[in-house]
Amino acid sequence: MYDDYMILGGAGLVGTQVVRNIVRELRPTRIIIGSLLEEEAKQACAAHEREFGKSISFVPVWGNLFVPSDMAVASRGELLSDPARRRRLLDLLYGDFEAAYGSNHLVTLLRDYRPEVVVDAVNTATGLSYQDVFDGVAKVRDWIGDDGFDKAGTQDLETFLLSQSVPQIIQHVRFVQRATREYETRVYLKVGTTGTGGMGLNIPYTHSEDRPSKKLLAKNEAAFGHTGLMFLLARTPNAPIVKEVKPAAMIGYRAVRVKAVTDKHGNKNLFAPRSMSLHDESQLHLAEPEQQYDRVGSLEVPVVDTGENGVFTRGEFAAITALGQMEYITPEEIARTVVLEIRGANTGQDIISALDASVLNPTYKAGLV
């Protein structure tokens, strides 16, 4: 079996359980744990060292996999607010492939660590779709008048071009194809998504926009576009073994805990009530100075923490996991399937194998004709 693993998104809800199952079932010598943030990657490695000891090397790596290594720790806001960085990203996304490949952070990690197995538990579709191309379109249209495009809207136009999911996902898979071949990765397994928790076009859950949510449908488009490219990767000569498991339910949960909450204005303080006399000239004040009340603490609510999907109160969690809704699957179950697929077991839950078995391939009869 394999000794060297890289878990992208290894500090997340699914990634954490994938690491634990790999340690228990596959006896690795080294696991590289990747996360967007340095602190998360280091904390995950420290937690696994406490649980499993130091007989296995846990190595933290971090950064945005879709940008050059020298930009990998910058936030999206920082990248888009800098004209020079925006232009460079545009050149790399739409320009010369070789230049983009040589500087890409994912390629750099594969070159530096050369893992035998890569488990990609990053929710790529979420990252791409939540750049919100629809909001970008609205902003660009605002800059288009009878006289053409207003140059003052250049930043919005460049941001809109950088938010396109199709060129990003195509480039990403091409990077994976070349880097895994050059650096001798033997298995590449993607933990994907349906984008809607397995629900259909009538999904009622949104991010406060119209139903069905355009963001969620864009997530579905990115998720299955990615699957299609992975299908091509699996059919490419000299590629690694390519697999994808795709949960079709909400993944939950990380923990049940008490959490301080705020309203949309950031208010979280609780105050003791006070009595007041009412008379004919009394007025109702919708907002009063905090100084008039005694603070008695902060608002805390018991919640279910579901990782990427945020936190839910008991009622919300009961609603979304009810029969006929998203329902849910545990990260432990996903991790067990991932490990079985790495071992070569036929779980029946590899999307790439399912596609390969169900497409209409060339026939003997057609050859005779």
Q: In the chain, what are the domains? A: 4-249+329-368 (3.40.50.720), 255-320 (no CATH)
Query: CA-to-CA distance for 275 and 268, rounded, in angstroms?
Result: 22
pLDDT at 288: 81
Query: CA-to-CA distance for 356 and 231, rounded, in angstroms?
Result: 8
Q: State residue 122 phi and psi, 5-degree precision.
A: -75, 135
Q: Is 257 left (phi over 0), alpha (psi -120 to 50) or beta?
A: beta
Q: State residue 270 phi and psi, 5-degree precision.
A: -105, 145
Q: Is the pLDDT of residue 208 over 70?
A: no
Query: pLDDT higher for 179 or 142?
Result: 179
pLDDT tens string 222-259: 999 999 999 999 999 999 999 999 999 999 888 888 98
User: Which pLDDT band holds residue 351 (cuts at 50, 70, 90)?
Assistant: very high
Distance from chain centroid for Cα 104? 18
Q: State residue 67 phi and psi, 5-degree precision.
A: -130, 170
Q: Is the pLDDT of residue 157 over 80?
A: yes
pLDDT tens string 257-309: 898 888 778 888 899 988 888 887 778 777 788 888 888 888 888 999 887 77
Q: State residue 240 phi and psi, 5-degree precision.
A: -70, 175
State which amino acid sits at residue 72: A
Which residue bears the tokens 């009878």? Answer: 146
User: Which pLDDT band holds residue 356 (cuts at 50, 70, 90)?
Assistant: very high
Which residue bears the tokens 């750099």? Answer: 108
What residue ranges in 4-143 does DSSP mark as E strands? 4-8, 30-35, 57-62, 117-120
Which residue bears the tokens 């990767």? Answer: 233
pLDDT at 205: 81
For 280, residues 6+ apart whose C-beta sits below 8 A from its C-beta are none
Query: CA-to-CA distance for 31 and 29, rounded, in angstroms?
Result: 7
pLDDT at 216: 86
- Identify the CA nearest to 198 among candidates 319, 43, 317, 329: 329
* Structure tokens, 216: 């969620």
Query: CA-to-CA distance for 121 and 17, rounded, in angstroms?
Result: 11
Query: pLDDT higher for 47 or 131?
Result: 47
pLDDT at 168: 95
